[in-house]
């Protein structure tokens, strides 16, 4: 603390004559004992309040206080105004400076040398004893910088600042709550990291040593910078709340320039760059980059381009001043006596910026939202709601703890993600699907969005995958919460939330690895809400009419469905289910009003959906889509699901307890006791549930001539309706029981409560495993696939029950489905059946021929398709991670047929959950072969008699540009769906192409050499992707703006 000691000694030797006596009560004895203080007021065209500011200084009870007014704006009338109040004040012209810091520093160029400087804004009014208290406390506590308690100018009872906390990123945060009443709760002298520059008492020696404020900081952040540097120099920073000052704090209004965000961002970064230690910056700067990108991303999503420019511009602004920054770092180093680590210890942990962003930027400095929140928390129902949310979230996260800590195994529909985010983005951007035999068409855009998210999170693909699984559950819960928000009853919302959490559907979907089920769970309550709003029956209307306009509903429906469809195309089937339920329910209650509106919204919403999911829409138009795409490859064959299971949402491998039946009591409540809109709404919701249950039952009985997707998806509307009914039950209790005479209705309440608890018990019990019953491991390390880089790319054909396949398969009937993947296990990009089947029917033909016993040379046929492995799945996950009781063994005909093939070798000892056959006659997907290798083979099935020979694998890998070399004198067989977009260049020369094996492509290069096989994505597909992105950004931006607008309102 050398600097402080020096300052103290200088304080004792202060020249008393330089001050201006302002107190008539001071005596010469007192003057000798007290150090001199010069109040430095930086005036920048101050308003009428300035006189009050000056008066508050000249009326201080401190005996040796001088006044210097620095004119920062060259105001010609300022001298007159000053002289009128303080005739002895010194006026310094600093009109050539820019900003408060540079102006304040002008004091250093004068010859005054008091012990202390009291540097003030021109809009501060000090209490009469403020200076005395500050000086006394500074001497007592040996402080280098000390500030008063600042209160609101017009409302002195409201605290404004009692010092500042600062994080490692230079972001300052308040100690006090906004508009917090001053009840002396902060009136202890406290060490703080910084005090606002509005009023600061600083030892003159320290101020000189530091070189004053950083004059590169013209507005905002000068106080943090000064205090940070002071502490590095060993000075102590305190706030003495007994000293008070009123502060107007209206810079934006006075200057008319709203550059808060820009200047803060610049100056915070500048402060960190100057004051941060070299090692510390290695951590701090990357973290700041992340924060900046996050903030910019959100700003971009909300369409606030100026915000993006401000936060990003901070970096360019500082880069442009890097020399100056270095110079200041060097000069600071000379006076630094405290290690940066010690400084960090007194800084705020975490990021003040995130909090500040929410409060200061989205809220635009308006604290009303925060105040309302605080106020709301103090009300009973909101506190109850927060507790309910906390319990539900704890339940979800505790039940999913194994996923959070160890990731989600890649089984069933929970496909693996590629190793990098760029692969996800590339798969989406390039519009070639390797699944089956390959086909042109987009991967659902959800894959691309997940890739972007992973990229933003610095490649945290595993984390994003966990989000992909658990995120829909949270989204669904939020949807359930919002479903009855229009009623204004928090209790109803809580009822819906808890009911939606305890229905077994999402947990059964997780246990059966059904991603589509989870997507359905996420979208169903939102869809139901949108359609209820569209219908605009009570309570989804106000006296003036519907709560939402028709276009708003249309866009809302399109957005909800579109966002679901880009992750799970089959989710579109939820629309007719929910709509049909609402229509029937409305007719039953004799309230058909709004059905026309509903129809318009549905039609408009579908059109809007087509725009949101533009690339998929175009694929449907140009491709040859099949129903299998929506039915997730399932046929209309009967399944074992009973109505009892459906009503309990027991669609997973385990049968859920019959206790779930108890839910029937609370959800029947509104039918029995509900009146008015509560009864109508209950009937509508019941029919949504009945349509959902009925449709799945009809499908499960095999009465449909077409397939339906995963029952977990199709039951999602029923689950949402049950949640809604639980909420309506609560509102019925709130409104209808109270007005009823005493009787059986009152008994319903305890019965419903007990029943709800009982119904939730099975779900509560399911949290025990931490993974909702899903196995711990997957096939990633179980299956003995050879590295395609070693022996060439190959395909894997997966056979088994549709519920077991590692991606959506095409059903052959009889409980057997298939899919084919390139180079091993499928990834999320292979999850869906593409709109264009390509030549995939050939695989199906070979599988059928094999099962029919038409050939014992299936290997030759599969070999012509590049298939090296055939995996028959009997269980969802490998042993010991799956229960043998949950096995769905492949039909015996399949096993017998494959076992009887002469050119398939069963790889023994792999795992009891699968049978893996290796094709001994496989040919790489991309092979070099002598010219005319396929002579006489006009059809794939000719290979049974004339197997392919003399081929060698070339051009291994996946993607749209594959490089390698081609031997001279050979042709290149590319065993995938022919497409004009593919081309082969050998030594820069394009190879000619011809049809091979009756279905594939053979490229005929002029000679051997370095080769590149590449796919050119059509421009229109790229434009569609870009268009879709723009639409998504607009939608997100509009939604965020709406949210922000709602907060502001």
Partner 1 sequence: MRALRTLSIVLIGGLIAVGFVIDLDERDFERLADPVTVAVPVSNAGTWFCPGGSDVTGRAAAGLEIVNAGDGVARAEVSAFRSDAEDVPSPVSFSLDAGTRLAVSLPDLAPGSEWVGAVVEVFDPDVVVEQTYDGTTGTDRSPCFTRTAEQFIVTDGATRELFHGERMLLLMLNPFHEDAVIDISFDADVGPDSLAAVVVPGRRLAVIDVTEEVTVAARVSARIDVVAGRIAASRVQVHNSEEVRGLTVTPATPDGAVVAVLPLVSRAAGRTDVVTVTNPSPTETAEVDLEILTDGTATLDPIELTVRPGRTVRVDLSIEARLSELDDFALIVRSLTDVPVAAMVESTVPLSSDDVVGVAAAPAQDAASLRWIAPLDGDASSISVVNPSASEIASITLVVVDEDGRRDVTTVELGPRRRTSFDAADLGGARPIVVVEASAPVVVGRYIVGFTSRQISSAVIADAPLPVVSVE
Indicate whether 333 belongs to the interface with partner 1 (CB under 8 A).
no
Indicate whether 892 belongs to the interface with partner 1 (CB under 8 A).
yes
Rounded to whole angstroms, how far apart are CA atoms 252 and 960? 54
Indicate whether 721 belongs to the interface with partner 1 (CB under 8 A).
no
Nearest-CA neighbor of 507 among 684, 656, 698, 658? Answer: 656
Indicate whether 1047 belongs to the interface with partner 1 (CB under 8 A).
no
For the bound state, the minimum distance from the C-beta of residue 643 to partner 1, rounded and expressed in Å, comes to: 4
For the bound state, the minimum distance from the C-beta of residue 421 to partner 1, rounded and expressed in Å, comes to: 41
Indicate whether 383 belongs to the interface with partner 1 (CB under 8 A).
no
Residue 75 or 854 having the CB closest to partner 1: 854
Rounded to whole angstroms, how far apart are CA atoms 495 and 483? 11
| Count of C-beta atoms within a 10 Å radius of residue 363 | 16
3-state DSSP call for residue 346? Answer: coil
Residue 191 or 896 having the CB closest to partner 1: 896
Residue 589 or 1039 having the CB closest to partner 1: 589
Indicate whether 893 belongs to the interface with partner 1 (CB under 8 A).
yes
CA-to-CA separations, 1040 to 91, 303, 523, 1034, 1044, in angstroms, rounded: 50, 9, 19, 10, 6
Residue 145 or 916 having the CB closest to partner 1: 916
Of the residues 139, 697, 952, 1029, which one makes contact with partner 1 according to CB under 8 A: 697
Of the ranges 228-236, 669-677, 729-737, 972-980, which one interacts with partner 1 (CB under 8 A)? 669-677
Of the ranges 87-95, 469-477, 831-839, 855-863, which one interacts with partner 1 (CB under 8 A)? 855-863
Of the residues 271, 439, 635, 923, which one makes contact with partner 1 according to CB under 8 A: 635
Tokens coding 921: 């006659």
Instruction: Show Cβ contacts of residue 360 under 8 Å, excluding neighbours closer than 6 positions.
Output: 260
Torsion of CA 191, 197, 203, 204, to 10 degrees: 160
Of the ranges 57-65, 202-210, 458-466, 689-697, which one interacts with partner 1 (CB under 8 A)? 689-697
Residue 134 or 628 having the CB closest to partner 1: 628
For the bound state, the minimum distance from the C-beta of residue 306 to partner 1, rounded and expressed in Å, comes to: 55
Task: Count H helices and E strands in the chain, helices first.
Answer: 39, 31
Instruction: Show Cβ contacts of residue 537 under 8 Å, excluding neighbours closer than 6 positions.
Output: 586, 591, 593, 594, 677, 680, 681, 684
Residue 576 or 900 having the CB closest to partner 1: 900
Indicate whether 805 belongs to the interface with partner 1 (CB under 8 A).
no
Indicate whether 701 belongs to the interface with partner 1 (CB under 8 A).
yes
3-state DSSP call for residue 729? Answer: helix
CA-to-CA separations, 684 to 318, 548, 583, 680, 869, in angstroms, rounded: 60, 20, 8, 6, 51
Tokens coding 655: 């049968």
Instruction: Show Cβ contacts of residue 621 under 8 Å, excluding neighbours closer than 6 positions.
Output: none
**C-alpha 772: how far from its chain's center?**
24
Indicate whether 903 belongs to the interface with partner 1 (CB under 8 A).
yes
Indicate whether 849 belongs to the interface with partner 1 (CB under 8 A).
no
| Binding residues for partner 1 restricted to 856-875, rule: CB under 8 A | 856-857
For the bound state, the minimum distance from the C-beta of residue 708 to partner 1, rounded and expressed in Å, comes to: 15
For the bound state, the minimum distance from the C-beta of residue 930 to partner 1, rounded and expressed in Å, comes to: 19
Where residue 813 falls (left for φ over 0; alpha for ψ -120 to 50; beta otherwise) is left
Indicate whether 854 belongs to the interface with partner 1 (CB under 8 A).
yes
Residue 643 or 1048 having the CB closest to partner 1: 643
Indicate whether 816 belongs to the interface with partner 1 (CB under 8 A).
yes
Indicate whether 638 belongs to the interface with partner 1 (CB under 8 A).
yes
Residue 515 or 586 having the CB closest to partner 1: 586
Indicate whether 745 belongs to the interface with partner 1 (CB under 8 A).
no
For the bound state, the minimum distance from the C-beta of residue 972 to partner 1, rounded and expressed in Å, comes to: 27
- Contact 665/757 with Cβ under 8 angstroms? no
Rounded to whole angstroms, how far apart are CA atoms 986 and 994? 16
Residue 429 or 677 having the CB closest to partner 1: 677
- Residue bearing tokens 């905002």: 220
Nearest-CA neighbor of 745 among 673, 662, 671? Answer: 673
DSSP 268-295: HHHHHHHHS-HHHHHHHHHHHHHHHHHH
Residue 455 or 637 having the CB closest to partner 1: 637
**Is the bond into 202 cis (omega within 30 degrees of 0)?**
no
Residue 327 or 747 having the CB closest to partner 1: 747
Of the ranges 199-207, 487-495, 895-903, 972-980, which one interacts with partner 1 (CB under 8 A)? 895-903
Indicate whether 587 belongs to the interface with partner 1 (CB under 8 A).
no
Of the residues 255, 945, 949, 989, which one makes contact with partner 1 according to CB under 8 A: 945
Of the residues 26, 642, 746, 1037, which one makes contact with partner 1 according to CB under 8 A: 642
| Binding residues for partner 1 restricted to 647-666, rule: CB under 8 A | 647
Indicate whether 1043 belongs to the interface with partner 1 (CB under 8 A).
no
Of the ranges 126-134, 278-286, 700-708, 980-988, which one interacts with partner 1 (CB under 8 A)? 700-708
Residue 53 or 911 having the CB closest to partner 1: 911
Indicate whether 908 belongs to the interface with partner 1 (CB under 8 A).
yes
For the bound state, the minimum distance from the C-beta of residue 499 to partner 1, rounded and expressed in Å, comes to: 18
- Contact 878/807 with Cβ under 8 angstroms? no
Torsion of CA 676, 680, 683, 686, to 10 degrees: -100
Nearest-CA neighbor of 64 among 97, 101, 38? Answer: 38
CA-to-CA separations, 1007 to 552, 949, 984, in angstroms, rounded: 62, 21, 12
Nearest-CA neighbor of 819 among 836, 796, 837, 838? Answer: 796
Residue 469 or 817 having the CB closest to partner 1: 817
Indicate whether 812 belongs to the interface with partner 1 (CB under 8 A).
yes
Nearest-CA neighbor of 395 among 468, 472, 462, 474? Answer: 474
Nearest-CA neighbor of 740 among 668, 675, 667? Answer: 675
What Rg, from alpha-carbon coordinates, does the chain have? Answer: 37
Of the ranges 257-265, 347-355, 675-683, 787-795, which one interacts with partner 1 (CB under 8 A)? 675-683
Tokens coding 896: 């017998």
Strand bridging mode 190-191 / 237-247: antiparallel
Indicate whether 671 belongs to the interface with partner 1 (CB under 8 A).
yes
For the bound state, the minimum distance from the C-beta of residue 751 to partner 1, rounded and expressed in Å, comes to: 17
Of the ranges 414-422, 618-626, 736-744, 893-901, which one interacts with partner 1 (CB under 8 A)? 893-901
Tokens coding 463: 């984390």
| Binding residues for partner 1 restricted to 164-223, rule: CB under 8 A | none
Indicate whether 899 belongs to the interface with partner 1 (CB under 8 A).
yes
Of the ranges 319-327, 549-557, 710-718, 891-899, which one interacts with partner 1 (CB under 8 A)? 891-899
The 3-state secondary structure of 819-877, one letter per residue: EEEECCCCEHHHCCCCCCCCCCHHHHHHHHHHHCCCCCCHHHHHHCCCEEEEEEECCCC
Indicate whether 624 belongs to the interface with partner 1 (CB under 8 A).
no
Indicate whether 346 belongs to the interface with partner 1 (CB under 8 A).
no
Of the ranges 356-364, 599-607, 838-846, 885-893, which one interacts with partner 1 (CB under 8 A)? 885-893
Residue 947 or 1008 having the CB closest to partner 1: 947
Residue 540 or 693 having the CB closest to partner 1: 693
Rounded to whole angstroms, how far apart are CA atoms 778 and 783? 10
Q: List residues binding partner 1 (CB under 8 A).
A: 588-590, 635, 637-638, 640, 642-644, 647, 671-672, 675, 679, 683, 686-687, 690, 693-694, 697, 700-702, 812-816, 851, 853-857, 891-894, 896-897, 899-900, 902-908, 920, 944-945
């Amino acid at each position: 603390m050398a600097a402080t000691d020096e300052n103290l000694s200088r304080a004792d030797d202060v020249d008393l004559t330089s001050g201006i006596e302002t107190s008539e009560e001071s005596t010469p004895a007192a003057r000798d004992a007290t150090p001199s203080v010069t109040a430095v007021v930086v005036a920048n065209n101050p308003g009428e309040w300035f006189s009050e500011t000056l008066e508050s200084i000249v009326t201080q009870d401190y005996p040796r206080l001088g006044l210097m007014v620095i004119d920062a704006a060259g105001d010609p009338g300022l001298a007159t105004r000053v002289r009128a109040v303080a005739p002895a004040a010194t006026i310094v012209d600093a009109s050539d400076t820019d900003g408060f810091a540079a102006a304040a520093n002008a004091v250093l160029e004068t010859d005054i040398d008091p012990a202390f400087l009291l540097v003030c804004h021109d809009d501060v009014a000090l209490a009469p004893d403020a200076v005395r208290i500050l000086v006394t406390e500074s001497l007592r506590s040996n402080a280098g910088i000390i500030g008063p308690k600042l209160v609101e100018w017009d409302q002195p009872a409201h605290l404004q600042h009692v010092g500042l906390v600062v994080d490692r990123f230079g972001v300052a945060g308040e100690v006090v709550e906004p508009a917090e009443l001053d009840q002396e709760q902060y009136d202890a002298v406290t060490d703080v990291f910084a005090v606002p520059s509005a009023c600061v008492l600083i030892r003159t020696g320290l101020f000189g040593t530091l070189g004053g404020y950083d004059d590169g900081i013209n507005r905002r952040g000068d106080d943090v910078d000064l205090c940070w540097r002071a502490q590095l120099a060993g000075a102590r920073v305190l706030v003495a709340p007994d000293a008070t000052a009123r502060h107007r704090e209206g810079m934006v209004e006075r200057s008319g320039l709203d550059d808060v965000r820009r200047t803060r961002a610049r100056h915070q970064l500048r402060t960190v760059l100057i004051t941060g230690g070299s090692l510390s910056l290695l951590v701090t700067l990357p973290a700041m980059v992340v924060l900046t990108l996050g903030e910019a991303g959100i700003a971009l999503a909300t369409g606030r381009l100026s915000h993006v420019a401000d936060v990003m511009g901070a970096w360019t602004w500082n880069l442009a001043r890097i020399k100056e920054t270095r110079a200041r770092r060097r000069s600071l180093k000379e006076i630094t006596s405290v290690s940066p680590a010690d400084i960090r210890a007194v800084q705020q942990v975490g990021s003040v910026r995130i909090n500040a962003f929410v409060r200061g930027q989205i809220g635009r400095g308006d604290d009303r939202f925060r105040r309302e929140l605080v106020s709301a928390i103090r009300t009973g129902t909101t506190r109850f709601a927060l507790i309910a949310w906390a319990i539900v979230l704890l339940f979800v996260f505790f039940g999913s703890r194994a996923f959070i800590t160890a990731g989600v195994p890649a089984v069933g529909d929970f496909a693996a993600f590629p190793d990098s985010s760029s692969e996800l983005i590339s798969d989406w951007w390039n519009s070639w699907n390797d699944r089956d035999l390959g086909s042109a068409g987009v991967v659902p855009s959800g894959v691309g969005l997940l890739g972007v998210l992973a990229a933003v999170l610095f490649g945290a693909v595993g984390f994003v995958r966990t989000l992909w699984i658990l995120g829909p559950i949270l989204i669904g819960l939020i949807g359930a919460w919002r479903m009855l928000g229009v009623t204004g009853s928090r209790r109803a919302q809580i009822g819906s939330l808890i009911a939606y959490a305890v229905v077994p559907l999402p947990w059964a979907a997780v246990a059966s690895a059904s991603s589509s089920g989870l997507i359905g769970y996420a979208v169903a309550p939102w869809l139901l809400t949108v359609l209820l709003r569209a219908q605009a029956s009570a309570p989804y209307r106000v006296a003036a009419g519907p709560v939402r306009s028709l276009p708003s509903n249309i866009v809302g429906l399109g957005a909800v469905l579109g966002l679901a469809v880009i992750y799970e195309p089959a989710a579109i089937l939820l629309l007719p289910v929910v709509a049909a339920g609402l229509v029937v329910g409305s007719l039953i209650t004799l309230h058909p009003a709004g059905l026309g509106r509903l129809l318009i919204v549905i039609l408009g919403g579908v059109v809007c959906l087509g725009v949101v999911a533009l690339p998929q829409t175009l694929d449907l138009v140009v491709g040859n889509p099949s129903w299998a795409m929506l039915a997730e490859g399932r046929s209309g064959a009967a399944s074992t699901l009973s109505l009892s299971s459906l009503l309990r949402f027991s669609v997973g491998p385990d049968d859920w307890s019959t206790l779930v039946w108890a839910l029937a009591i609370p959800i029947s409540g509104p039918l029995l006791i509900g009146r008015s809109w509560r009864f109508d709404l209950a009937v509508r919701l019941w029919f949504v549930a009945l349509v959902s249950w009925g449709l799945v039952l009809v499908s499960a009985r095999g009465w449909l001539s077409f397939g339906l997707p995963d029952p977990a998806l199709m039951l999602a509307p029923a689950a949402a309706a049950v949640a809604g009914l639980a909420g309506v039950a609560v509102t019925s209790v709130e409104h209808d029981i109270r007005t009823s005479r005493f009787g059986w209705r009152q008994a319903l309440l305890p019965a419903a409560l007990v029943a709800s608890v009982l119904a939730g018990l099975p779900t509560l019990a399911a949290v025990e495993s931490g993974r909702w019953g899903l196995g711990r491991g997957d096939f990633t390390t179980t299956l003995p696939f050879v590295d395609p880089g070693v022996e060439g790319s190959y395909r894997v054909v997966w056979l088994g029950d549709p519920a077991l396949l590692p991606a959506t398969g095409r059903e052959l009937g009889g409980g057997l489905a298939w899919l084919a993947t390139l180079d091993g296990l499928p990834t999320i990009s292979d999850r869906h059946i593409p709109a264009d089947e390509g030549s995939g029917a050939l695989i199906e033909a070979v599988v059928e021929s094999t099962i029919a016993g038409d050939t014992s040379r299936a290997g030759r046929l599969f070999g012509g398709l590049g298939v090296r492995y055939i995996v028959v799945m009997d269980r969802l996950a490998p042993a010991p991670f799956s229960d043998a009781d949950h096995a769905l063994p492949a039909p015996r005909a399949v096993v017998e047929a494959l076992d009887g093939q002469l050119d398939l070798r069963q790889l023994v000892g792999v795992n009891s959950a699968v049978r893996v056959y290796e094709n001994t006659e496989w040919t790489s997907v991309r092979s070099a072969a002598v010219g005319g290798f396929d002579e006489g083979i006009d059809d794939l099935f000719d290979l049974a008699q004339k197997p392919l020979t003399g081929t060698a694998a070339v051009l291994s890998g996946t993607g749209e540009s594959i490089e390698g070399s081609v031997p001279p004198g050979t042709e290149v067989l590319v065993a995938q769906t022919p497409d004009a977009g593919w081309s082969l260049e050998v030594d820069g020369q394009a190879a000619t192409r011809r049809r091979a094996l009756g279905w594939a492509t053979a490229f005929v290069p002029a000679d051997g050499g370095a080769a590149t096989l590449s796919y050119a994505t059509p421009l229109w597909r790229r434009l569609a992707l870009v268009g879709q992105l723009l639409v998504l950004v607009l939608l997100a931006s509009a939604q965020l703006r709406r949210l922000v607008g709602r907060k502001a309102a």
